[in-house]
Amino acid sequence: MISARVGLVVCVLACLLSACATLTTPPAAPTAAQVLPILPAQQETAVVPPTQTIPSPTSIPATVTPLPPTETSIPGPVITLSQIHMLDTTNGWAWGPMPNTNDPTSTVYRLLRSADGGQTWLDVSPKPNSPGYYGGFFLNDQVAWIPYSDPTTYAVNLLRTLDGGKTWEALPPNDILQMGQVQFTSPNDGILETAGVGAGNKYLNYYDTHDGGASWKPILLAAPNPEPGLPPGTIHLCNICGDSLYYDPERMVIVYGSMANDPPSAVPVAISTDMGQHWKNIKLPLPEGNKYVKGMVAPQQAAFFGQTGILPVNIMEYSSDGSVAYSVLTVYTSTDGGQNWTISPNLLETNSNFDTVQVISGQIAFARCGKNLCATDDGARTWQTLPNSLDFDMANGGPEYVGQFAFISRTEGWAIAGQDPNTNLWKTSNGGLTWVNIFPTLAGN
């Protein structure tokens, strides 16, 4: 899909964020497979406190003493957040559950904007008591789009703001928006991905706009193996296998998973640089040794920063009782736009899935490592395990589990822990070594 920025994740990160959540119910925290990647944010130059470099967080214990999360009490009406999209150290957007003033027994999700790093938030919801929207795309602190589903007609259209949420414009309804996710590279130019899912299959189509989302034109891509009967431009993937597709105007990269097949001997990849008219097939090697030969391949979405590509791939095997025997994250890197790939020399291994890998740049990425968070700042050649101060383990869940984390640089990041309506917002300024609960408050309009 489209070029990554702090939040795809590839995740990736987000949020936001399987391909199409409903517009009336908030989706789970975005993962790399759920959310379109966005453009890379400018990296900061702050010095990162040293942590231990290790080949695997399970093989060598961390030398850094874990510090408990600290709390700072801020006066004022404290609110909870469900999803956060920070753009830089000060500006960001978020969704938060609040009472419906027309019906105090129900809750709606309000769109919020912060200009002080997430400490205080202004309610900029276009329809404050409507349950019909959630998610969206945030280009900068002034320009954003959110989908809106009319509760009476169920027609879906985009609402757009060009002034930070002070005013909103309703763009024309379009049926393709019901199953789509948008990403914009400017106030006028964007791409829409739609996904139809069923019977273990996924059918992807792409559209572009050059008038800010008012109208959309199909992008007629050609699949590696065209199938009769499919609409023009449709790419058919195996959803239960874990296939992933990255698309931008310069390239398409399909990575084939094996979650529903026999263990592979390699990771199959197909790449095209001419909208699918010609395809190059590549087989990426699995990690050396015999330990992972029975593992199933679950690729995450590739991310590109110019000609530099990052492809996280999860390799896992289940025991006879259904538990995870091992789960390994290996990362492949490309320096020529995806034509060739090199496997990273070090792996991350835990007994839970690497569901979230957020790629910040061609060098910086963060990943869940069981209960910990792991980071790399050298393109996955080495990884660092960070102190166990927040709970990142998907297998645990519970009130302290981090459902979403989002970094904008190697040092600055945010995390939402807990479950609605009892969430906490945490912030780190030292790359995840320590976290501070910042107790977000609602500012007056």
pLDDT recorded at residue 323? 82
Q: Is residue 383 packed enough to be buried (19+ CB in 10 Å), middle (13-18) or exposed (0-12)?
A: buried
pLDDT value, residue 352: 64
Give the model's pLDDT for residue 353: 61
**402 touches 415 (CB < 8 A):** yes
Full-model pTM = 0.80
Q: What is the 3-state secondary structure (H, E, C) of 23-65?
A: CCCCCCCCCCCCCCCCCCCCCCCCCCCCCCEECCCCCCCCCCC
Determine contact, residues 392/400, Cβ cutoff 8 Å.
Answer: no
Residue 206, pLDDT score:
98
pLDDT, position 76: 58
List the chain pLDDT tens, one digit each, 445 residues: 444 433 333 333 333 333 333 333 333 333 333 333 323 333 333 333 333 333 333 332 333 334 445 444 444 589 999 999 999 999 999 999 988 888 888 888 999 999 999 999 999 999 877 777 778 999 999 999 999 988 888 899 999 999 999 999 999 999 999 889 999 999 999 999 999 998 999 999 999 999 999 999 999 999 999 899 999 999 999 999 999 999 999 999 999 999 988 778 899 999 999 999 999 999 999 988 778 888 899 999 999 999 999 999 999 888 888 888 888 899 999 999 999 999 998 888 876 665 689 999 999 999 998 889 999 999 999 999 998 789 998 777 677 889 999 999 999 999 999 988 889 999 999 999 999 999 999 997 5
Q: What is the pLDDT of residue 70?
A: 43
The structural architecture, per CATH, of the domain 53-442 is: 7 Propeller (2.130)
